[in-house]
Amino acid sequence: MNIFLTGGTGFIGSHFLAQALQAGHHVKAIRRAGRGARVPLSREPMWLDGALGADWSGPLDGCDALVHLAAVGVSPQKATWDELFQVNVLDSLRLWRQAADAGVKRFVICGSCMEYGRSGDRYPAIPPDAPLEPVTAYGAAKAASSMAALALAAERKLELLVSRPFSIFGEGQHEGNLWPSLRKAALGGADFPMTPGEQVRDFVPVEAVAKTFLAALDRTDLRAGIPRVENAGTGKPQTLRAFAEHWWRHWNARGNLRIGALPYRDNEVMRFVPQI
């Protein structure tokens, strides 16, 4: 299959790219000049240097599917409201319209669990059709992006899957996130201060999330003009403390988990897990 990929040098995108190339797909991938994937690749894709909001109508010609994983402002990275809505909504929508004009029929788009926001407080397991009540600028931009994608798919009769991953972790993740920070402390022999860890999350390996996007390319249940929204997770929620203790033992850490050394964040959502 001929795939047009955004976010191929990012966390999820690097893993998707590795799996797609290994499976024999032909991939055209947007990147900033000089950037590369965060994990080893069996071969290189056709890299296209440029910004998301550029004119990609030429390279999109002949592509069977668009896999859209690019985004700015993914935690803990910061972006302004203007940047978030420019890239995650306007630039993304411009690309999708170019793809539809070029005849691309299948769209696989990465949403975010942050779109649910306060809605998550009301569900022991958040369903994909839960109301979107984001409480951050990033969540608001991703929610607006999802709504635009759903409307475009209905209008242009596109085959669309919007997948909202929950607590992803793994190789290539930003060092400021929990799993990389935990690993750095464990392998360095340092203590790791953390909250009491009673938050319940669905921690999903990035390889599994990438596999979900890859599998969507061949799904037979995606219908033109009838978009689908799904959550991506394991269906096996656990406390943050249990997650940290598991990996601390896995790495044979010499330091100590200082459980309760840090307070919970303001407005901490104690249970935030998906219905799968």
What is the rounded CA–CA span in Å between residue 188 and residue 178? 15
Query: 3-class SS at 108?
Result: strand
DSSP letter for each residue of 2-61: EEEEESTTSHHHHHHHHHHHHTT-EEEEEE-TT---SS--SS--EEEES-TTS--HHHHT
Q: How far is CA 3 from CA 155, 167, 193, in A?
A: 22, 26, 43
Q: What is the mean pLDDT of residues 60-79?
A: 96
For the whole model, what pTM was predicted? Answer: 0.95
Does the pLDDT value for residue 267 go beyond 80? no
In 79-199, where do the E strands start and end? 106-110, 159-165, 167-169, 192-194
Residue 254 burial by Cβ neighbours in a 10 Å radius (0-12, 13-18, 19+): exposed
Contact 65, 219 (CB under 8 A): no
Instruction: Tell me the per-residue pLDDT of 235-263, one tens digit each, with 9 for 90 and over.
Output: 999 999 999 999 999 999 999 999 999 99
pLDDT, residue 124, reads 93
Pairing state of beta strands 167-169 and 192-194?
unpaired
pLDDT, residue 4, reads 98
Does the pLDDT value for residue 34 go beyond 90? no
Does the pLDDT value for residue 138 go beyond 80? yes
What is the rounded CA–CA span in Å between residue 102 and residue 260? 54
What is the rounded CA–CA span in Å between residue 226 and residue 222? 7
pLDDT, residue 135, reads 92
Phi and psi (nearest 5°) for 187?
-75, -20
Question: Hey, what domains does the chain have and what are their CATH numbers?
Answer: 2-169+203-232 (3.40.50.720), 178-200+236-272 (no CATH)
What is the rounded CA–CA span in Å between residue 89 and residue 16? 22
Query: 3-class SS at 66?
Result: strand
Does the pLDDT value for residue 92 go beyond 80? yes
121 falls in which pLDDT band (50, 70, 90)? confident
pLDDT, residue 266, reads 84
Instruction: Tell me the per-residue pLDDT of 167-214, one tens digit each, with 9 for 90 and over.
Output: 999 999 999 999 999 999 999 999 999 999 999 999 999 999 999 999
Assigned token pair, 57:
């109508």
Give which of 199, 179, 177, 170 is closest to 272, Cα–Cα. 199
- Calculate what percentage of the chain has a pLDDT beyond 70: 100
